[in-house]
Structures are given as C-alpha cells and as structure tokens.
Amino acid sequence: MPTKSLKAQKSILASTQKQLNLLSGGIFASGELPTFSERIAVQGESSLRPRKLEILQMNIGYMCNQVCAHCHVDAGPDRKEMMTRETLEKCLKIIETTSVHTLDLTGGAPEMHLDFRWFVERAAALGVKDFIIRSNLTIILANKKYNDLPEFFKRHSIHVVSSLPFYKKEKTDSQRGDGVFQKSIQAIQMLNAVGYGQPNSGLLLDLVYNPSGAFLPGDQQALENDFKKALKTNFDIDFNQLFTITNMPISRFLDYLVASENYEEYMYALVEAYNPEALNNVMCVNTLSVRWDGYLYDCDFNQMLDLKVANPVQHLDDFDETLLQDRTICISQHCFGCTAGAGSSCQGSVV
C-alpha cells in the first residue's frame, strides 16, 4: 500500500505529460490497438461534443486522510491544494445562474476543506436538485470534529456517494488501506442511523464499487444484489444503489498497472470491451469539472491529466456557459475506461 502520493514520492508518473506520453505510446503508437479517436471514428464520430450542462463537479482539494492504491487524484494527507473561498463563491454564482441542476462535490476528502461546512450551507440554500458529496466514509471517524457529519449531511439533504470496493475486508483494505473496511462499515451504520439509505427517508446513500485490481467491473445490478445481501446479513446495513466504476488508467492506478506489468493487458481489455452505446452516455457530455484553482475540465480524469477544456474559456474568472458549450471534449486513451462494457461514470454504468 502506498503511504505517500506519487507527487510526494517524486514518481515519474506524477507528471501528467509522462502519463499522456505513456497513454499515446507503445501499443497505441505502433497501431497494435486503435487510439480512442480512431475507435470513435469507426462509429462515425470525428469528435465528442458537449450537450447541455447539467452537472457541476467541483474538486475542492486533493487532501485526503487515505492513500488508496487506485486513486486517480493521487490524493493523500500530503496534498495541500485547496480551493479558496473566493473560488468557492464563484462556483456558487455558476450554480445560481446556469442550467446546472446537480452539484457534485469531490476531492480528496472534501470534508477536510476548511470552508467545507460554510460552502455546503450556502450551496444547499440555493436549492440544487441533487447535491452530491463524495465521502470516503472513514473521514467520519477520523476525528471527533467529523463525527457529526451524518447529521450535517441530513440537515442539508445531501446525497452521499461513498466508495466501498467490496463487502468483505480483504479486498477493501488491499485497495484503501488497513482497517478501512471496518471503519467504513461503522460509518455507514452511523449514516443509516440518521436515516440514510432507509426506505422513504429521502436521504440517499449510494456506494461505489471499484475493482480491486487490473480487471473490469462486472454487471452493476448483480454486484448490487450481492452487496445488499452481504451487507444486510453481516452488518444490518442498508444503502440505495451501487455504482460500478471502472478504474481509469491514469495517476496511481496507472502506476500500479505499470509496476505490476498489467498495463498492456488492461488496455487490451478496455479496448476490446469498447461499447458504442456507452459513448452516447459518457458523463463529459453534460458535466463540467472545476479544479481547486478555478481551471475547467471536461471531467475529473481530464483534470488529473491537466487537459483543460479546449475553449477560450478555461477558468472560472471568464465563465461563459454559451461559449463553453461550443467546444470539443479532450480525449486520450484513458477515455476507453468510460466506454468499456456497460460504460462507466461518476454515476456508475451508463448503458
């Protein structure tokens, strides 16, 4: 298990350019596998373009109390990047003045942001239809000051989306760190106790499944059934939906793929599982991702590769919804992660 971010380790793959070079070289440069651009061209698509903006995903900082082996953000306790209050205020303005109906707060652990509660109170007051917070669960138990988060979430009708890679300890801890499974279970029980995941409570608790290794997720519904049965039987836990998310070959997961000599096989699996139907529903067509410093991206993965939106508007300071709509979405071979099998997005499978 890593204990530091790739950045703190000064790893070669902490460089976004090195990651992009790797994703464009080797089997893709030689023509052994088609590039993403070539693959969508077969389907008659010369590029990907956004539809109506519906989801604003804000990555408010890369600090996290965990150092997960697959993290595409390369988050960890050593990451200090954090959105300023001024930038948070600019995001509030976008929520107020655009067609955005879903606010998706992520990190790192967003709860560790110093202005987290200040921001949530204000954003919730704006009445967005769906206010998602991506919580890693263990943060709720990491310090006394976080213990009341379930009540805080409830007070503001937050839709909680939390990672739990498996319903057993071994696979969860191998991906997220020793002791994470037990703490996650305890945190879900605390969320359940205030009403999250309970029938008719209106308090949504969705779990996220990421494969704990170099393989693709299985059928979302089948896995959800297995999760529900196991978590109810063993821990009396309830939740709403399970989202299966494919691990993207970027950042720390890319580092793992290379170190474990799984990179080529994994890329083969992603390309072979390409699903044309998934392309129509990829999340970048209705999402905009904001980095802690106000720069704009087509998705959180492009943010981590520093592929800024291909548009004259690249920063919140110049935000213009109409101008931004007129752009081509930046793509590279990591995009095969969102189109494999039943597809993958921050809301799970897309087909």
Binding letters toward another protein, positions 209-228, x by CB under 8 A: --x-x-xxxxx--xx--x--
Among the residue ranges 84-92, 166-174, 287-295, 312-320, the one whose residues contact another protein (CB under 8 A): 166-174
Q: How far is CA 29 from the centre of its chain?
A: 28
How many residues sit close enough to another protein to count as binding (CB under 8 A)?
17
- Residue 12 interacts with another protein (CB under 8 A): yes or no: no
Residues in the chain: 351
Give 268's contacts (C-beta < 8 A, 6+ positions apart). 27, 33
- Kindly state the smallest distance separating residue 49's Cβ from another protein, in Å: 32
Give 210's contacts (C-beta < 8 A, 6+ positions apart). 70, 163, 165, 175, 217, 245, 247
Please pick, from the candidates 101, 171, 308, 315, the single residue that binds another protein as defined by CB under 8 A. 171
**Of residues 243-272, those binding another protein (CB under 8 A):** 268, 272
For 175, the token pair is: 């991906």
Cα–Cα distance list, 127 to 93, 100, 115, 130, 132 (Å): 13, 11, 19, 8, 12
DSSP 112-174: GSTTHHHHHHHHHHTT-SEEEEEE-STHHHHSGGGTTHHHHHHHTT-EEEEE---SSHHHHHH
Among the residue ranges 6-14, 61-69, 162-170, 195-203, the one whose residues contact another protein (CB under 8 A): 162-170
What's at 155, amino acid-wise? R
**Of residues 14-53, those binding another protein (CB under 8 A):** none
| Distance, CA of 80 to CA of 347 (rounded, Å) | 27
Please pick, from the candidates 36, 166, 263, 292, the single residue that binds another protein as defined by CB under 8 A. 166
| Distance, CA of 58 to CA of 36 (rounded, Å) | 26
Beta bridge partners of 161: 134, 206
**Of residues 272-311, those binding another protein (CB under 8 A):** 272
- Kindly state the smallest distance separating residue 341's Cβ from another protein, in Å: 9
- Kindly state the smallest distance separating residue 215's Cβ from another protein, in Å: 5
- Kindly state the smallest distance separating residue 329's Cβ from another protein, in Å: 28
- Kindly state the smallest distance separating residue 166's Cβ from another protein, in Å: 7
- Kindly state the smallest distance separating residue 248's Cβ from another protein, in Å: 17
Q: Closer CB to another protein, residue 33 or residue 158?
A: 33
What's at 198, amino acid-wise? Q
Please pick, from the candidates 170, 277, 317, 318, the single residue that binds another protein as defined by CB under 8 A. 170
- Kindly state the smallest distance separating residue 168's Cβ from another protein, in Å: 6
- Kindly state the smallest distance separating residue 331's Cβ from another protein, in Å: 25
CB 270, CB 31: distance < 8 Å: no
CB 295, CB 308: distance < 8 Å: yes
Q: Closer CB to another protein, residue 122 or residue 169?
A: 169
Binding site for another protein (CB under 8 A): 166-168, 170-171, 211, 213, 215-219, 222-223, 226, 268, 272
